[in-house]
Structure 1
Amino acid sequence: MAEYLAPTGERDPWAAPEPYGYGQGSTSALFIAAPLLTAAALGLAGVVGGADDEFQWPGPTLLLLVIAALALIASIQFAYHARLYLYSYDDLECWLGPAHVKAFASDLRVKQEKDQEVWARYQLWAVHAFNFGTILLGLGIAAALVPPDCGKQIECRWAAAAVVLTATLADAVWVLYMHMSAFGRTSNWFYTTVRRLARIRLRRRG
């Protein structure tokens, strides 16, 4: 949580997410993308389960897709529960009225700060479940694209599987990098390497 430092030097005691747009930004991933990805995982699982002779590893592929779907569903549940505890000063004024908020400001500040700690905890679980689910979904899609021994257009299917696997591994690297950045675990070779590569890429594009 962040504490806003006003131009006058006085601190605003109302708790806020860090960064400030984190609550709204996570809504797109956890309430829009997660349901769509869950449907994709379950849909592909149905295809693999109904035509297992068309896939190289139907059993492991099906397992990856099912676990991915369950993880994504878990992320939605965690996010829904977390969202119950995220609200701002403006929300309180709208719901309770400015006079009530002003009269009980001290108690409301304490409650809002505690509620936001609950939100942050469940939100973190939701993010972990979402990232785990998306990575497993990518692995499941890559496994489904691997052609069976009697398959057709083998080269194209292998190429597609390699592209999806590469993108999934890149996503896993990025997720781990962002996790380390958020928790201040930046003094390791993995973080410094990814950061250096990102800076080189930005310089080239600039």
Structure 2
Amino acid sequence: MPSNESEEPETAGFRRPGWRKPAPLGYGPAVETATGVAAPLLAGFSIAFLGVVGADADKFRWPSQAMLLSLCAGLSLIMAVQCGFNARQYLYSPADLADWWTEEDRTVPGRAERLQEEQRADFALWQQWARRGRIAYNLGIVLFTAATALVIAPPPSAAGGDAAVRWLGTGIAFGVSAGEAAWAFLPRTVWRRLRGVLRRAVRGGVRVWRRVRLRLRAGKGGTEDR
């Protein structure tokens, strides 16, 4: 989950409203969904990994390391739930205030300005807790996918095609873990540069493959002519 809780910048002809708001506007519900729905489910899976690996440690290649990563992932995701709970109490809109304060109350001299000041202070607290929840959630996903890679790794007794398939799964899981870490924690500028490098690398690989395929076809045609 990337960080997008910045507000709209000041531009010519644009006057920032007195109320602070997330940007994009859906970032608040996104944080609530990640920390209140996804994080508890993933924390449950992480704790389940502990029981499975601990009960049959001899069937896994790196049981101790997998259990450690699962434990850290579960704790990080539980922390994300707690941060999301603390953040939610500080995010509200002017419509929420209108439900609690009558029109007569809001027209008291100085009352509207004071409500706006309180909302801006609460919004700053929401940003802090939302940022902590986002970091804990992303870290939990990175640790969870890394633990999955260790769990799926073939035991020493595995051999043949089964071991090869499980090593492939380990590599994929580690790749997803590394990709999630880069996407979640690298600055946006660095990530855009890295994405550009990856795109150029993929395009270069495609061009090389096309050239190799053409040469193979040409060599095959020359062999048939003989």
Q: Normalising TM by the smaller chain, what interval?
A: 0.7 to 0.9
The aligned runs of 1:48-67 (5 Å cut-off) are: 48-67=53-72
Range moving further from structure 2, 159-168 or 129-138: 159-168
Matched, 1:167 2:176: yes
Equivalent residue number for residue 176 of structure 1:
185
**Structure 1 residues not aligned, in runs of 5+:** none
Matched, 1:155 2:160: no
Matched, 1:25 2:30: yes
Equivalent residue number for residue 193 of structure 2:
193
Query: For 1:76 and 1:147, how far apart are their aligned partners in 2?
Result: 33
Query: For 1:5 and 1:36, how far apart are their aligned partners in 2?
Result: 40
Equivalent residue number for residue 85 of structure 2:
80
Matched, 1:42 2:47: yes
**Which of these residues, 85, 88, 107, is aligned with residue 114 of structure 2?**
107
Compare CA radii of gyration and give the structure with the larger one. Answer: 2
Taking structure 2 as the reference length, the TM-score comes to 0.77
> Is the Cα–Cα contact under 8 Å of residues 78 and 122 in structure 1 kept in the other structure?
yes
Equivalent residue number for residue 128 of structure 1:
135
Deviation of the 1:199 alpha carbon: 7.1
Residues 19-52 of structure 1 deviation map (CA, whole Å, 9 limit, x = unaligned) = 2221011122111110110111111111001100
Residues 121-164 of structure 1 deviation map (CA, whole Å, 9 limit, x = unaligned) = 11111111111111000110000111111136211211111111
Matched, 1:138 2:124: no
Q: CA separation of 1:3/1:173 partners in 2, compared to 1, >3 Å: closer, same or farther?
A: closer
Query: For 1:136 and 1:9, how far apart are their aligned partners in 2?
Result: 43
3-state SS of 1:125 partner:
helix
Q: CA separation of 1:158/1:7 partners in 2, compared to 1, >3 Å: closer, same or farther?
A: same
Deviation of the 1:192 alpha carbon: 4.6
Aligned partner of 2:18: which letter?
Answer: P
Aligned partner of 1:68: which letter?
Answer: A
Deviation of the 1:11 alpha carbon: 3.6
> Is the Cα–Cα contact under 8 Å of residues 32 and 88 in structure 2 kept in the other structure?
no
Aligned partner of 2:175: which letter?
Answer: T
Aligned partner of 2:181: which letter?
Answer: A
Aligned length: 193
Q: Percent identity?
A: 30
Residues 168-206 of structure 1 deviation map (CA, whole Å, 9 limit, x = unaligned) = 1111111124xx23xxxx3xxx435224257779x9xxx
Aligned partner of 2:128: which letter?
Answer: R
**Structure 2 residues not aligned, in runs of 5+:** 1-5, 204-226
> Displaced runs of 4+ in structure 1, greater than 6 A?
4-8, 198-201
Query: For 1:3 and 1:101, how far apart are their aligned partners in 2?
Result: 26
Aligned partner of 1:141: which letter?
Answer: T
- CA RMSD for the aligned pairs? 2.5
3-state SS of 1:147 partner:
coil
